Each structure stands twice: as structure tokens, then as C-alpha cells.
Amino acid sequence: MSLPSAIFRNDERAHQLVFDRPAGIIVAHEAEDFLPALEIAQAAHDAGKWLAGYFSYEAGYLLEPKLVPLLPGGRRAPLVCLGIFDAPVEQAVVPSNAPATNGPIFDARAAWSAEDYAKRFARLHNHIRKGDCYQGNLTFPVHAQWSGDPLAAFDALTERQPVKYGALIALGDPVVLSRSPELFFEVDAEGMIETHPMKGTAPRGATKSEDKRLKAFLLNDEKNQAENRMIVDLLRNDISLISEVGTLEVPELFRIESYPTVHQMVSRVRAKLLPDLTIRQIFAALFPCGSITGAPKIRAMEILHGLEATPRDVYCGAIGWIAPGGTMRFSVAIRTISLFSSGEAVYNIGGGVVFDSTAEEEYQECLLKARYATGTPPISS
């Protein structure tokens, strides 16, 4: 199979949408090009086209006037990159029985050591103690090398970490591979929007009994529940800005989903969207996802801007598609790798910090999450 423009793969259903041969590619690298790019995307959508691609995390600075002056330089990925397509092809995915391999990603090194992380953690924790924010999602990059075929890398990641929202985006440099387990939002044909905030993590156990114990611990742990509830409340507030009064509900709270390396706590928020919303209006209300910023969102983003030395780029943005009828689905771009043509691979890791978090536990959780990329934790710098 040659490299298509975009793949969205649900490993649970063994199903994927494949987009190829774009009629055009909408790309904005600079701030002044971002809103015009959204207008072009809206025009293509109104003309009956499909859109597929990603929004980088830094696009969120341009959707909130208060944050525009903080837009960081040194970005390596576009702020937005969307292909324009006539339609995707739906395909069944034949499961592979081959053992998971490390694939073509190697020599992974975390940009922050435990000491580096602890210094920034202390500054964030001080903000939390003073009441500047209740939670902050502190992240840092891992730098690695890659070689070979991006599609082979995508398949290797699939074998190691099956998820519902896997994606490959090949619309230019970088090629983006995502093994995201987290739904940012989905809009169905009736205009119902649903989001699945994911906050709360525990490792898998070495034995069935240990695994069961760790899962039960996560389900009942007050710290993880508090983290999750904060983000549920944040997303309820975001969705309320674009939904009909009286339709907002939380049908499920604190469900545990299990993946090869971690258990995750997930909740659900649903509402009926207001009619005739534009792409810009939806993203201005929701983006970036609160689960990867913290609460309150804008203040958390301001604080994190001063703590994280480099742009997040595609990581913590949104990856997905928009159909002509108004249905759409975007994942949160976690467990996401940018493959640059230079041979460099970059993927970030992070986690939510709250009042009773500790630097050592949070740093180890970050390294645990990073195992999806190579099967082993990255070398600490």
C-alpha cells in the first residue's frame, strides 16, 4: 500500500477511513494566515467537500484574543493543515498476528531529566497553591530518530498500542502518526456533540491479580477522580457556549479503559449543538481540549507557556475529519509522533498536575506513557 494522505483507524472495530488525492491542501504556518485558512476550510466544507488533517496546539493561542501575544516562535509544524477531499474510502483492517516490534523509531531521549522536570513542577505547583489554577498539564518533548516507511512505523505502533483513534497524516512535513486513545469531540448527523475527557492513569500489572488491583485503585482513587472531574467541568463549560440550553449531560463518569501499558480514567459529556455553527465557532469554543491544558483553561495555558521551553506543535492539538453534512470527529493529539524529513522524530509526554501531585510520581508517569513509541521508556537526559 502506498502512503495515503490520511488514515483514521479504529483498531477496536478493525475499520479505517482512508483519504487520498486531495483537491487542495490548506496550510497556515504564520499567525496572519490562520484565520484566512479557516475561511478557506469553511468554503470547501460548504461546497460539499471533506476535510481531514490536524490543528496544532498553538492554534489555540489564535482562537483566544488574550493569548494571541503569547504565540511562541520556533514552531516546526503548521498551525493548521487540512486536505480537501471528495470522499474517503472505508476499509476493513485485516488484523496482523505478527509480534509488536520497535519499528523504525529509535534512540529516544527525553528533553527533561527528572531534575529538570522537578524544577518546573515546583513552579507550577506554586501557582496551584496560590490559586492561580487548579490543574496544569505539564509536558516536554522526546527527541528520537526514524528511518524507513511512515506506514510501516504506523503499523508497528498499531501492534503495540491498539486504540480507537489512530491516525496517519501525510500532507507534507512532518508526517504525523497518532495512537490517541482520547476522543476530543464527535458530532453526529443529529447535531449531538460528545466528548470523552481522559484524565487519570495507572500502570498495567505484571499479573492478572496485580492488574485488577491497579485498575480498582484507579477507579476509586480520589486524586484521579478530582483530576478527571475538573476537566469534565471545564469541558461542560466549553460545550455550553455552543449548545442548546438544557441539553448538556454527563452520561458517564470515571469509566476505566485499559491499554497495553496503562489504565485510563474516562468520562463522557454530551449536548445538542446550536444550529449553523461554523468550523471557527466550534474550535474557538472547544480548542485546545481542556484535558491537555488544565483548569481554568486560559490561565493554565498562560502559566504553561512560561514553563515549557518549546512549542508543542501537533502534540496536544486535534487530528480528525469533517464531513459535508456536518458530522465530524477529532481526537486529542496525545501519543502522537511527528516524523520530519530530516530523520528526526519528536513526540511529547505529559500529565496533569494537581495540589497533591508529586514531581517524582508525575515524571515516572510521563515516562510510562512514552513507552507506546518504542516499547521502552526514553533515556532521561
Q: Which residues are catalytic?
A: 182, 199
Contact criterion met (CB below 8 Å) for 3 and 64: no
* Ramachandran sector of residue 104 (left: φ over 0; alpha: ψ -120 to 50; beta: rest): alpha
User: Counting beta carbons within 10 angstroms of the beta carbon of residue 343, is it exposed (0 to 12), middle (13 to 18) or buried (19 or more)?
Assistant: exposed
User: Counting beta carbons within 10 angstroms of the beta carbon of residue 84, is it exposed (0 to 12), middle (13 to 18) or buried (19 or more)?
Assistant: buried
Rg of the chain over all Cα atoms, to the nearest angstrom: 19
Contact criterion met (CB below 8 Å) for 176 and 165: no
3-state SS of the chain: helix, strand, coil percent to 5?
30, 35, 35
What are 192's strand-pairing partners? Answer: 272
CA dist 153 and 151 (Å) reads: 5
DSSP state for residue 70 in the 8-state scheme: G
Torsion, Cα 234 236 238 240, to 10 degrees, reads -150
CA dist 268 and 278 (Å) reads: 23
Grid-cell match 501557582, residue found = 127
Contact criterion met (CB below 8 Å) for 193 and 185: yes
CA dist 143 and 303 (Å) reads: 24
What are 185's strand-pairing partners? Answer: 330
Question: By three-state DSSP, how is residue 198 classified?
Answer: strand
